[in-house]
Structure 1
Amino acid sequence: MSSILTNPLYRPLLEIVKSARNGIVYGGKIRFSHALVINLLYRSGPPLPRLREILQATKNHAEVLAGFAIIYKICCKILASDSFLGPKNGRLIKFLSGAFGSWIVYSQHFGYFHPGITHQITLYCFSRVLIAVGKILLDSYLGHAQPQFKNYNGNIILFKDLTPNQQKKLKSAIYNRSWKYFAVFTWALVMLIYDYQPQYLQSSLRHSMAYIYDVEMDTWSTWKDFIGL
């Protein structure tokens, strides 16, 4: 069996299997803890059906990550062997493979994978992608436009003339400021939508917000009721 692991002929297949395995493990770890907490907070009833719900959610999440990993890696291998694309277009190959894999797994076009989980993962990734794209555009602008800044002495200096440490501090300051605006705008919209049309928010987000913020109608006869013991 060890000869199979070291045989270059089986290497592409082993990489696909390994990615799928890692997707199952990671998805299982993430979803089990999340489903356990959500179930304890918002569900009631006999423990066995609740345990089944947790395990089913864990299975669904693992299937999504493993399914995308398999399709993505297969596409990468196929496109990399194509004479037109070839290994020199690695970024295009990964973009196309990601697009095809997401069409099968995350777009909900075929209905093979759990829609709620694919929806959650996609929204989770979108926020990270949006921030990453902003950083890429900023770095590209600073590198090509070479804007002017004032140093501590009030003198005008180009971005390229800053020391590496100064460039790093400047980028960090811009990142932090843009994050502040992003966070403020996001949470302002979330609270507005929750008050205006809450049914359009994702269900777990809606339930957690209701649990945290909708306390105006609650009544507490004792401190034990207030604390929730």
Structure 2
Amino acid sequence: MSDAVSRAVTNLLHDQRLRIPLAVLKGFRNGLVYGVKIRLPHAIVMTFLFHNGSLQEKLSVILSLTYQHARNLALLATIYKTTTMLAKKGMGHSSPLVTFLGAAVAGYIMFGSNNKLNMQVNLYLLSRIILALVKLAVKRNILPSMNVFPWFAALMWGASLVLFEYEQGSLHPSLSASMTYIFHDSEHWTNLWDLFVYNTLLQ
């Protein structure tokens, strides 16, 4: 690349009139890259551990999950950055309400479909948000100062086991199956083999 072209490109990249579209473009790029980085290894491990089918079918599942996660994050970033940056430009400042509305619109569009991947991502966010809100309440003296995490763990496990024992049908099937294996199947055995070595009860 010649010096003249390099300088022209540099000038364009620093042109304030292009700041919003370039920020949106980079948000799209970063969402895409992060989606691939976070989903691809997870999809490979989970698919080869728990999915039946041919190698081609497994690779198809891996690529489909990775594409969906990367696309959703890329377009979420695009919608969020576009709406909030345009609002900030029009108002002269941003605000928590603008941030919330921009993110809510993006989340509704990109993660509003009820499927396994979106469920996983949304529940991941929910757990982090609950913990963050408790920490914020402590920081702002709404709750007394304390180590929040053990209480968070206590609440999560207490609630999950009560639901499992008394309202099992309300839990996600995979969580219910895991808890059945750990907490209910541990009460049954016929010999040393299925007591210590191999649980035959789910076979």
1:30 maps to: 38
**TM-score (norm: length of structure 1):** 0.68
2:14 maps to: 6
Tell me whether 1:126 sits opposite 2:134 in the alignment: no
Contact 2:87–2:94, Cα closer than 8 Å, also in 1: no
**TM-score (norm: length of structure 2):** 0.76
Sort the Cα spacing of 1:46 and 1:197 in 2 relative to 1 into closer, same or farther, 3 A.
farther
2:141 maps to: 141
Sort the Cα spacing of 1:189 and 1:208 in 2 relative to 1 into closer, same or farther, 3 A.
same
Opposite residue 52 of structure 2, the aligned amino acid is: S
Tell me whether 1:93 sits opposite 2:134 in the alignment: no
Counterpart Cα distance in 2 of 1:23 and 1:16: 10
Q: Deviations over 1:85-106 (max 9, x none)?
A: x133433321221122122222
Give the drift of 1:10: 1.8
Contact 1:64–1:118, Cα closer than 8 Å, also in 2: no
Opposite residue 119 of structure 2, the aligned amino acid is: H
Opposite residue 104 of structure 1, the aligned amino acid is: I
Contact 2:84–2:94, Cα closer than 8 Å, also in 1: no
Aligned pairs, how many?
A: 187
Counterpart Cα distance in 2 of 1:125 and 1:211: 27
Opposite residue 184 of structure 1, the aligned amino acid is: A
1:42 maps to: 50
Give the drift of 1:211: 6.4
Gaps of 5+ in 2: 1-8
Counterpart Cα distance in 2 of 1:3 and 1:23: 25
2:3 maps to: none
Q: 2:61 aligns with which of 39, 50, 53?
A: 53
Q: CA RMSD in A?
A: 3.1
Counterpart Cα distance in 2 of 1:126 and 1:79: 26
Q: Which runs of 4+ in 1 moved over 6 A?
A: 217-222
Gaps of 5+ in 1: 109-113, 148-170
